[in-house]
Structure 1
Amino acid sequence: MNKKDYPKLEESRSVTTLANGLKVILIPKAGFHKTYALMTTDYGSIDNTFVPRDGQPAVRYPDGIAHFLEHKMFEKADHDAFDLFGEYGASSNAFTSFTQTSYLFATTNHLHENLDILLDFVQDPYFTEATVNKEKGIIGQEIQMYDDDPGWQSYFGMIGNLYPKEPMHIDIAGTVDSIAKITADDLYAAYNTFYHPSNMSLMVVGQFDPDEMLGWIESNQNAKTFPPVVPIERERGPVATPDEVVAETTRHLSVSRPKINIGIRGFDDVPTGADGLKYSLALSLVFDLLFNDTSDNYLRLYDANIIDDSFGYDFQVQRDSHFAQVAGDTDQPDQFVAALAAILDHAEDQLVAAQDQFDLVKREAIGRLIGAINSEEAIANQYDGPLFGGATIFDELAVLQQIEFRDLQAAAQVFWPQSRRTVYTILPE
């Protein structure tokens, strides 16, 4: 095991890559009662065009197939994995994002048994046309539920405007029409391509002995046979130019107050590895300085009743994309858009004006991370796999502590000139 200690935090993490390619990250937490395990494949909703493992030319699969596959993985010929976890006192779940699919459990006992259940059900696909067709109705209802959710529509409307030609503009679950086209063979093609251990990681956080845990994992994996490693070939497809970003969209839905979501897409190249993590953290701090609830901008707009407690913001870096959003409900939609545009149009000057708040904002960010270290779920869910060179939350904290104000300026000077903005507005019917 490759062990790294974090003396100031009194934490450590061990990383091992097994013979079959599975990356195992172990983070023991002495004194904790719960253990949380997260098994992730580097495969998400945007990966809908790829070369199947059988070697045929690239195939465009139906939108929503990664999410559909996540749903179907729990069901086997004679049992459901959810039931097995329940028998051993564990809670389990799964989720799909734009770039990843993860399966998890949390437990306070029967750790070995629950670990085997996780590894076994994720590595044992079972699909039939009958079970696939049955699932279409279930996921179709889920899609229709989100179609009626104004917050969800606001978010994906904003994403759609920023990425109009790319897979990200499609809801992660797909559409009712797209999932109707999914077959059992499609699911097997996606599974065989992306669920090879070499494209996956397993993080375990909590109360356990690392050597014993690694022994359990190796024993489970050594009892299985996997095909040889084959390089994964994804096709990203067309990429929108800055001029193709949709500047503004307005919809009318059943809402009591207008909802506005302003998206800012970066067209600059995000650095790789640790430099990418530093870039991401620096830009997150930029948005903290501009919009957190102690900033001059927030207080001024709040006092003018342009924003309220629904106001929020976020900056994300994912594989092949990075963007920010600033959103909220307001009774003054025109003033909201104008006020936020004025700030964003002069973001670099606004940043300099807020420099005296940098130390406070940085300490707040450090405090949030230290708080997250006390949560097994936060440690595991914040792991971004290959995105930042396998950095954990502990590495993130170390980078954050070293960031200075000039790093924020450097990141903003790269991001802002090439960025493009959209405004997605939902008004009452």
Structure 2
Amino acid sequence: MRFITKKLQQPSGLFFIAWCLTASFGTYFCMYAFRKPFNTGLYADLYLWGLGYKTILLIAQVLGYMVSKFAGIKVISELKPSQRIPLIAGLIVFSELALLGFGLVPFPYNFVFLFFNGLPLGMVWGVIFSFLEGRRFTELLGMGLSISIIAASGILKTIYFEVQGMLPFITEFWMPFSIGLLFLPLFFLFIWMLSVIPAPSETDVLLRAERVPMTPADKTTIIRQYGPGLLCIVLIYCLLTTMRDFRDNFSVEIWNEISGKHWHKNVLAQTELISTVIVIVCVGSLSLIRNNIRGLRATQALMAGGLLLTGGSSLLFSQQVIGPYTWMLTLGTGLFLAYIPIQMAIFERLIALFKMKANAGFFVYACDATGYLGSVGLMLYREFFMKDLRWSKVLMQFSYVLCFASLGLLLLSVIFFNRKQGILRRLQHQQQPTPPAGLQNITAY
């Protein structure tokens, strides 16, 4: 233990970086084991209130997750370091108990337990990221979270099919609890790894600004000063979250439509892992840019590239220029190239550039809460107004909306923050002391 503590005191060392990557990846990956496996089931021929039962289950969980995100705006932004580990452990245990209820209570009454399953899980990301933010390598350290966000869904779906094949007597209603139980010991191992990560160093604070629990007055000040630019980012994130959830929740149905029902189930993990590698390289490289202005511009450019890739891939697929596999791979890669930088980089740079008295949790949870409203809205719209439309067609059409609307909002946010940066630069220049008359020529030179 002493060896680990000593090595972690070197915040730029390979051991520290590898430890943070492993801890964040493992913890969030295990969280998905409590959230995602149920949506691999088809729940065929089950209906409630005129809706497919799987849609009911998805809406119930997302509503719980959304409530958790709204609560997280306050809880995560005001969270003290000493409260992190007890909170995250309690959140996961509560979620697993809800999955037990989902298995015990018969159809059609068990959908309520998926609301309670989602209710605590929305705050897990914020607790994990609070260990990583405000460091000179935050974008790199956060890659563990990014990897799990992209890779977990496909891998856990593959694990679901494998467990189902080995234990066919476990029903679709008991599979989520069983997989959660399988991952529970691993989850506690990874939260221990998080608990021994030291606080940001003096150099980290100098480069990225200190991250502190926020007060209501701090939040009001931030919204008043930066509201229009932040609103653009929130709306972009809302569209990205809606598409990410739709693609993820109905990926089995989409693959059935575009490739027939005989596609290999490993393709789910394969496409997500390839996307993961690409996103790691692109987003992780942002940590190499120390200048916060350049880092912000690079992040905005990466997001624009991801949005263009998302819309462009759907256009090429509709024209039969590329096949189903290439479309799903490229679409997912573009989606996460725009999505992950909002979580890992853009707020990090804004806080550091403008020296905001804030933390990333406040911004990301405001984005997430809005995003899941959009996710529920799209599912309901599909069920009531597009029943005869294929899942793949909905995904394709929404990718066009996402591309054009998000690029416009991104441009507006760039203009807003560039103007804010110009005002900040002028204020800093005015506050600089005027050199003595005899030294003015030397200073100018």
Normalization by structure 1: what TM-score? 0.30
Higher RCO (Cα < 8 Å, 6 or more apart): 2
Say which structure is richer in strand. 1
Say which structure is richer in helix. 2
